[in-house]
Structure 1
């Protein structure tokens, strides 16, 4: 005899659903993530359970505003993936819809939390272990960030424009976690940038410890890419 079918949703177990956000930035040529701390002082990512009749997008905005003290206007977090290990939270069955966002350091001066360095693998440089599976979320966030920065010049606008090619390369090195070949990098990015000129048509430059360097801003469609992986300095 076939089992009776049910259409009552209350007959099925339901997990708690949360949103966790990894906020990344580059500070002093170092990739960092914003962490907060629970009552025991354990590092964790900012997050929030989805309240009744609220959407994921609503909750993302609430985490940014209520937990981090950031205005959600003009911030566009990237959806990473769902973290759904049934044992990820010892308090109970909880899934996390994890997001990441990269913001300039200047926008995080008053953020609620600490900007701490992370390794290219997404772990805290200090070796500190985060709450639950938040280390895995940071690793996914840094992977996503590196994929974007292998493809286009500063796609998340972490550098104020205009900038020099050296400043742009150093940003990419901090995010990718490796040194890049200067000449090869310049050949890749220059077709995607516009050299800045003044009212007379003369190049705009900035002195950065040595001879003046030309300033550039983004040019062309935002979908334009480098074409292939940026070569590391030790690639020969």
Structure 2
């Protein structure tokens, strides 16, 4: 009988397995992430939880949302981001993180257990603080993932409550992408994917915000509809 056939699972060391979730939002014109501070550790980290015995990853995701963040898991749909498996990522012991990400409107996070930390263009905390473990890398990956979606579609994660103006939509994309966009080019790209709101009199619905009335829109395109190519960056002095 070969050595392979006589080996047992108990012969192999096993890592701890955790779920960490990067919750992203746009607040006051800035891209932010929810971080938590544990009084027993000197620093901040993403909300997370070790996978308990006989629990699935999906069950653990729900537990993080409900028990760690105070969010309703039935109304949040995190997606699998990546597996972080550097053996030295957690000084407490060999731990693999099955990282997830979700983007939610800031209004949905008003009672979240944690604080909103502003992110810089490189996906790290704008304050310069480093998070525990490799959570800076997880946030950077989540930010890149979010930006890829917002380069391709108008507000795919529904962070804006419809109806909204084209300026509000552009400012949301600018906050997420970390750069100014050319107004006219953005409007030409996004308008075919939107539906203009109509008021009770059958006229275009508008909102006055300090200037002339701006038309209101909501999404009116299948989920597969895209801008077609990367959104153009505004140069200095351009609108």
Question: Normalising by structure 2, what TM-score?
Answer: 0.96
> Is 2:24 aligned against 1:20?
no
In the TM superposition, what are the counterparts of 1:142-153 in structure 2 within 5 Å? 142-153=143-154
**SS across alignment from 2:229:** coil
Question: Normalising by structure 1, what TM-score?
Answer: 0.97
- Unmatched runs of 5 consecutive residues or more in structure 1: none
In the TM superposition, what are the counterparts of 1:1-236 in structure 2 within 5 Å? 3-38=3-38, 39-234=40-235
Deviation at 1:157, TM superposition (A): 0.4
Q: CA RMSD in A?
A: 1.4
Q: Using the alignment, how far apart are the partners of 2:204 and 2:3 within structure 1?
A: 78
Spell out, residue by residue over 1:100-124, the C-alpha distance to the aligned partner (whole angstroms, 9 max, x if none). Answer: 1000000000000000100121100
| Residues 204 and 215, structure 1, Cα contact 8 Å, conserved in 2 | yes
| Residues 16 and 94, structure 1, Cα contact 8 Å, conserved in 2 | yes
Q: Using the alignment, how far apart are the partners of 1:29 and 1:234 within structure 2?
A: 20
Q: Using the alignment, how far apart are the partners of 1:42 and 1:5 within structure 2?
A: 46
Could you list the structure 1 runs, at least 4 aligned residues long, displaced by more than 4 angstroms after superposition: none
- Unmatched runs of 5 consecutive residues or more in structure 2: none
Cα pair distance change 1:221/1:4, threshold 3 Å: closer
Q: Using the alignment, how far apart are the partners of 1:220 and 1:119 within structure 2?
A: 31
| Residues 120 and 142, structure 1, Cα contact 8 Å, conserved in 2 | no
